[in-house]
Amino acid sequence: MTPYPGMLKEWRKRRRMSQLDLAVEAEVSARHISFLETGRSRPSPDMILHLSEVMNLPVDTRNQMMRAEGFAPRFATTPFDDEALSPIREAVEWTLDRHAPYPGMALDRNWTVVLLNSGAKRLFQPLGISEGQSLLTLLTSPLMETLVENWPEVAHHTMLRLRAESANSGGIPQLDAAARELSKQARTQDSLNVGPTIPTVYRFAGQRLSLFGTIAQFSTPTDVTLDDLKIELFFPADENSAKFLRQLADATPE
């Protein structure tokens, strides 16, 4: 494990902050930040958490920093099906259920599918994606070039998102590997069409299905599981796509 001084310096730079920037935001002296980064001063648990909060670090990273200084981690990693998370799980299920017949899912930090609603099951299960599997498997499959009409554009934006999520978490090997694979198929920024959003245009059951997505996360997580969880909701980009999703739901009731 990287010692705390190195972790503090690395994350400060990741957040594009100087020692003075961090000191001002944290209301401590720049000298103290310098001493922490060189190991001349040892932080208290409260200081580790305070600086982590100022830099908006992932909850898991805050635990790692605590361990690096020999302190007990402050944040739990609770299994999603644990009773303690039942209100959270119910909220996620409520959101996904009410989004049907449009597709919706919950993903963890590695893009493993935690939950699929009925609309997402109809769309993704025929492609081999179900709960407990990684969506990265599908995204890096050669199938995407034939399944998605505008795959180069979608690959480009997905690559950028993977890189950003990995960087924000201090590096996630699975996301980095998938981003490298997508970079081989992505269209460069100069050749992208300009519009309010880039929908994903599927060829599905002989139909053209155009979807755009939104992402939601919990605003005040104090658990690693919740900090990593993302809810993705997909909406039809045109009336024909909306009609098709409604017809598909009527033809394949739950």
Q: Map out the domains of the chain with their CATH numbers.
A: 4-68 (1.10.260.40), 83-251 (3.30.450)
What pTM was estimated for this model as a whole?
0.89
Q: Specify the pLDDT at position 6.
A: 96
- Any idea what the Cα angle at residue 207 is, between residues 202 and 209, rounded to 5°? 40
Are the C-beta atoms of residues 14 and 170 closer than 8 Å to each other? yes
pLDDT tens digits, 49-61: 999 999 999 999 9
Q: Specify the pLDDT at position 135.
A: 95
Q: What does the mean pLDDT of the chain come to?
A: 93
Decide if pLDDT at 192 tops 70. Answer: no
Residues 6+ apart with CB under 8 A from 226: 85, 88, 218
